[in-house]
Amino acid sequence: MYVDPGLAILRLVVGGIALAHGLQKLGYLGGGGVVGTVGMMSRIGVKPGPFWAYVVTVAEVAGGALVLLGFLGAVGPLLIVADMIVAGVTVHWANGFWDTKGGIEFPLTLGTSALAIGLVGFGAWSVDRAIGLTVPDWIVQGWTGLMILGVLLALTSRSAGAAESQGESTSS
């Protein structure tokens, strides 16, 4: 078995994709930048748009970089998982499964891959292993709770925003 090289490859791909996705939100790699990200948040009804645009960008850039490096245990993978849950529900779910139609294929694949890394660990070829860092379980559990809370807040803000918009349109 070649567990450590396999985990390193998986980390490089998952972390690299998440990082690149986040850099697009900053205007790099052909992305729409901050203005485009705030606009996307408005289109999907997540409010306040600028706040959630910042959260999504940080989740993807920081989560991707941490996974890429194999640093801080499950912190990075859980950032990606939370981000992909919200993206899957708010943007992709209504489009079915296949990515060619904007479906959940991409966020499902990236999110579950990040979850697997978070559960299994980074392996020997990681910064954590090189410096002897082990993130205590209580921190991982607390971070997991914080990510769940963030997902629920993002989805609830969308529901509240949709209700407000609907109320405005009926009163006009």
Asked if residue 163 has pLDDT above 80, the reply is no
pLDDT at 85: 97
- Residue 167: pLDDT band with limits 50, 70, 90: very low
What does the DSSP 8-state code read for residue 88? I
The verdict on residue 80 lying in a domain is yes
Asked if residue 158 has pLDDT above 60, the reply is yes
Q: How far apart are CA 71 and CA 86, in angstroms?
A: 24
Q: Give the chain's domain count.
A: 1
Asked if residue 109 has pLDDT above 60, the reply is yes
The verdict on residue 14 lying in a domain is yes
Q: Find out whether 135 and 73 touch, Cβ atoms under 8 Å.
A: yes
Mean pLDDT across the chain, nearest whole number?
A: 92
Asked if residue 13 has pLDDT above 90, the reply is yes
The verdict on residue 169 lying in a domain is no
The verdict on residue 43 lying in a domain is yes
Instruction: Please tell me the pTM assigned to this model.
Output: 0.91
**For 54-77, what is the mean pLDDT?**
98
The verdict on residue 130 lying in a domain is yes
Helix locations, 88-126, DSSP H = 105-120
Q: What is the pLDDT of residues 125-155, one digit of tens each?
A: 999 999 999 999 999 999 999 999 999 999 9
Q: How far apart are CA 94 and CA 44, in angstroms?
A: 12
Angle of the 137-171 helix axis to the 49-69 helix axis, nearest 10: 150
The verdict on residue 164 lying in a domain is no
Lowest mean pLDDT among 118-122, 128-132, 165-169: 165-169
- Residue 161: pLDDT band with limits 50, 70, 90: low
Residue 126 structural domain: 3-159
Asked if residue 4 has pLDDT above 50, the reply is yes
pLDDT at 162: 52
The verdict on residue 171 lying in a domain is no
Q: Report the percentage of the chain scoring pLDDT > 70.
A: 92
The verdict on residue 81 lying in a domain is yes
